[in-house]
Chains A and B, each alone.
Chain A
Amino acid sequence: MTSNTTARDTAQSTAERLRVAGLHAPTDAVLSVRDLNVRFNTENGVVHAVRGIDFDVLPGKTLGIVGESGSGKSVTSMAIMGLLPPTAEISGSVRLKGKELLGLSDKAMCNYRGNDLAMVFQDPLSSLTPVYTVGTQIVEALTVHNPTMSKQAKEARAVELLGLVGIPSPKDRLKAFPHEFSGGMRQRVMIAIAIANDPRVLIADEPTTALDVTIQAQVLEVLHAAQEETGAAVVMITHDLGVVAGMADDIMVMYAGRPVETGSVDDIYYSPRMPYTMGLLGAVPRVDVAEKTSLVPIEGIPPNLTNPPTGCSFAPRCPLASEACLDGEPDLRTVVPGTEHRAACIKSEALADVDAHAVFAAPAVPVSRFDRLPRHERKTVLELRDVKKHFPLMKGALLKRRIGTVKAVDGLSFDIREGECFSIVGESGCGKTTTLLEIMEFHKDQDGEVVIGGLSNKHAADAKAKGAMRRELQMVFQDPTGALDPRFTVYEVLAEPMENLGMSRPAIRKRIMELMELVGLQADHVNRFPNQFSGGQRQRIGIARALAVNPRLVVLDEPVSALDVSVQAGVINLLDKLRAELGLSYLMVAHDLSVVRHISNRVAVMYLGKIVEIGDVDAVFDNPRHPYTRALLSAIPVPDPELERTRERIILQGDLPSPLEAPAGCNFATRCPVFAALPPAKQEKCLTLEPVLEPAATDQQFACFYPDGELDADMVVVHENH
């Protein structure tokens, strides 16, 4: 298996290499990939997207393929499935149970696809045909490979499959259309389709990336159950090192179309030997520990694969790169003799006990001048008092009548002090974004009071006060590409807010140069257009624009969720630095709790328009009192295989209920693991009375009657000795 990757073999013909590789493949591997290469012809030349991939997967085992966008991981999976467009040039070998798949016609591949080889895709919302029922689509998968199966048998099997993936009342749901299902339910259906014919190999391409964390935990659980049911080998493709830590047996880290490190999950996570892997692991914030170190930023961007790299493809971004690294691309070599742990780095031996923070020169933790002051002595920059946003739900075309109310935000109160970062977390639909919009709205007819830098919306909501408010508060948006006008140069983007304030031209020019330096961009790039920058750089431009008018509070709406892990780390470090240096306060909305934990001082957990728990970030994350917070935190996978394997996980049932169905008592009762385990006498209280925020510790409040209640056993899952 190793012979085809040593330098000695490069002179041999591909055919010879494949023959040798075939001989060395483990006989019990269900899927063996050897020297897989994929090239696309584009207008800019030939893109060599996948450059020589070898791996084997054994039955019942899971291989995690980890990489950032553009690393070739999805192309690899599509090449195995034979789903790449005919214009793609594919070479190498893909063997399923010893049979070669590459080169088969579309028709011949159809005998394998959906039968022995199945796949789950990333976006469940678009992966099901909207005009057919879920049942029809599952039955179709059965019909294709079992033409003789009777109609009743197929239907019975479809019901069984839906039940297996955890869809309640599966028999009735067969007739439902995909649009009647939530994203998580649709992904379950996708898994049901994939396992319909007991596949030997199941490829899951970012199966949970588009889902909320609680739903992600449910779907991962279903995948786990599906694997146990079918005994299939699973190839799990992801960018999230946490997701695979608990599931995978082996890991392959990809960079620029090549595997740069492979090995068992423990080898990769606990003793990475390739600087890129080390950087990736260091770049991910942890939700389970209070960190006092900066994240590891990987500078630069992945190479353009139209020009194959002549040296190590990671060398331009690697802090350890030397002359030798540029001389030919290193092959995967065994790092620890006798194991399968291999890395493509000429210096891997020297990296045995090196800390990623040292390698990548992670910046020192910035200290703000406000950090020394106790919280109550600092000035308040933003205060919300009982802010509500209720949307009437109307019916009728001409004469509308109100049939209900959506309580998107239902009585929020919190304050943000100078120099602190306050985050709001929760599932999509819980009202995070509406809260931000209400703050930005700043109108005196709003329900509730918003005070920004001493200006209240109730007293001073005229245009002048609004102008003053905008000076205090600026916003950074989620999608850096969409938030920048593509026809504006960076200079124009940054100058616009200052021109609005009537600053003089020389002052604007000077300030822009300052801003560029502040956010880590080259000052001579101001005349470029946004599309000439990478995603991370664009987000830096967005931050610079927000800072242009010297605000005291910056609202960050999912500031890093559109960025790759390695780029994300740089932006988070920048935000941390700016907060300390400029004495800024942040109001951040994010769904990634790891990021929240890393950057925030205080956090509020929202559920259906209400804050269910609020307080100091370490207090809330280390000692969550509300069952929802506990569930949310337990749902987040951490990049630590040991911990992931043994950790207790609360799997919430179902989806976030529609805000329309908000019950009279506690909002969370319908999904609450504590409520489910309560005796009926105590349940009554949750159903009739609405819990209010009660102080737990010095800076922690939660809204629950039974914070110490037992958890329902059905909702707690532990995978021991997985």
Chain B
Amino acid sequence: MLRYLAKRAITYVFMIFLTTSAGYLLAVSTLQPALLEQERIPRPTPEQVVNSFRLKGLDPTLNPWERYVDWLTAILTRWDWGRSPNGAFINAEFGDRVWISTRLFLASIILTLVIGVALGVYTAARQYKASDRVITSYSYLMYIVPAPIAYFLVQLGAININESVGERVFFVTGISTPGLDGDGWAQVVDMLAHYAVPTFAITIVGWGAYQIAQRQYLLDNVNADFVRTARAKGLTRNQAISRHALRVSFIPVAQSIAFTIPAIFAGGFFAEKIFAWHGVGSWSIDSIALQDVNAATATLAYGSVIFAVGAILADFATTLVDPRVRVQ
């Protein structure tokens, strides 16, 4: 098992190195932070800009290859991912943002998975009954509604509730109320008021895909020969389905769940933007808008790592639930 892990890890490290290097070279040859500096008032002279950038390790006069070598050396020797044009250190910024993304997505992804799989099982057992039709139609609706629109609708709904109550029950943006004093209880209430809307929005949009997948896989197995065997042993239909079909149908779902878990830490662009939680997702897009080479590359590298972890976890999940698959 350890050998397998080491082998896979080496492969992925190599792949991450390739994508990150390619990403850096692309970013460094296309992003021009110096141009943005020209929009400042008072407008700095080009020499001032170059000097300021050189101090931050972003010397625009060097060619891309030289900058790549400098950048790589800094990472490999000091684990220093460089600085942004505004002077911020990527390493410091990164820690904060990962933590924010994690807080935003942790609860909602767990809820998404649990509700999605549970409803998938529920609807599969009641195929073509009213409850199945309502739930599955809803899931398909969520497939076609773009996520940002759903988020905005939830936001609007929360604002409507606030208005009709006449008091600010839910916060539709932000992580916490700045400068809030008070005892622990007030802090908890404030936190819940901030968490409720984004968590709810991400969850109700997300579980549709899992519901549809679990329902489909279970239905594929409900009439399987081995379920018939189980019934022939004397199990009722529902017992046979829950003991035999469910476990088999969960194999592909477990794989996709394992793949999803690391995404908790990677954040999401739309959700973070709309609810104004400044996590990794929004940073990745913002860094491109701000011509920030180091931040853009760092988020890319992070995305690759998350993907690799997801892939390894998916393999593990499969070996865990399916005895036919063995790690070699």
Contact = CB atoms under 8 A, between A and B. Distances in A.
Interface of A: 81, 83, 106-107, 110-115, 118-119, 121, 123, 126-133, 140-141, 144-145, 177, 179, 190, 193-194, 196, 397
Contact of B236 (A106, A119, A145): A106
A83 B234 contact: no
> Of A111, A127, A133, which is in contact with the most chain B CB atoms at under 10 Å from its CB?
A127
Contacts of B233: 113-114, 140-141, 144, 193, 196
A144 B232 contact: no
A479 B225 CA distance: 23
Given A106-B237, A107-B236, A110-B236, A128 B322 contact: no
A126 B231 contact: no
Nearest to A108: B236
A140 B234 CA distance: 9
Given A110-B234, A140-B233, A130 B248 contact: yes
Of A81, A83, A110, which is in contact with the most chain B CB atoms at under 10 Å from its CB?
A110
Interface in B251-289: 251
Given A128-B229, A130-B323, 8 more contacts: A83-B228, A112-B234, A129-B244, A130-B226, A131-B251, A131-B321, A140-B235, A196-B233
A32 B277 CA distance: 72
13 contacts: A111-B234, A114-B232, A121-B225, A121-B228, A121-B229, A127-B225, A127-B228, A127-B229, A129-B229, A130-B322, A131-B248, A131-B321, A140-B230
Contact of A131 (B232, B235, B237, B323): B323
Interface in B301-328: 321-324
A130 B247 CA distance: 10
B204 to A, nearest CB: 32
B324 A179 contact: yes
Contacts of B243: 140
A128 B234 contact: no
B224 interface: yes
B247 A83 contact: no
A107 B232 CA distance: 12
Counting chain A CB atoms within 10 Å of each CB, the highest count among B226, B248, B324 belongs to B226
B158 to A, nearest CB: 43
A317 B324 CA distance: 49
Interface in B203-253: 224-226, 228-237, 243-244, 247-248, 251
Contacts of A190: 229
Contacts, number: 78
Interface of A is mostly: loop
A144 B225 CA distance: 19
A107 B251 CA distance: 29
Interface SS of B by simple majority: helix
Nearest to B251: A131
Given A130-B323, A131-B321, A193 B229 contact: yes
Q: Taking each of A115, A126, A190, which has the highest tally of chain B beta carbons within 10 Å of its own beta carbon?
A: A126
A177 B319 CA distance: 14
A448 B303 CA distance: 54
A126 to B, nearest CB: 4
Contacts of B229: 121, 127-129, 190, 193
A113 B226 contact: no
A131 B225 contact: no
B232 A113 contact: yes
A113 B239 CA distance: 14
A145 B234 contact: yes
A190 B229 CA distance: 8
Interface string B39-71: 000000000000000000000000000000000
A126 B232 contact: no
B13 to A, nearest CB: 15
A194 B231 CA distance: 12
A113 B323 contact: no
B234 A144 contact: yes
Given A127-B226, A131-B321, A144 B235 contact: yes
A262 to B, nearest CB: 26
Nearest to B238: A106
A306 B95 CA distance: 70
Contacts of B251: 131
A127 B226 CA distance: 4
Contacts of A177: 323-324
Contacts of B247: 129, 131-132
B224 A126 contact: yes
A358 to B, nearest CB: 43
B217 to A, nearest CB: 13
Nearest to B221: A129
A197 to B, nearest CB: 8
A129 B230 contact: yes
Nearest to B224: A126
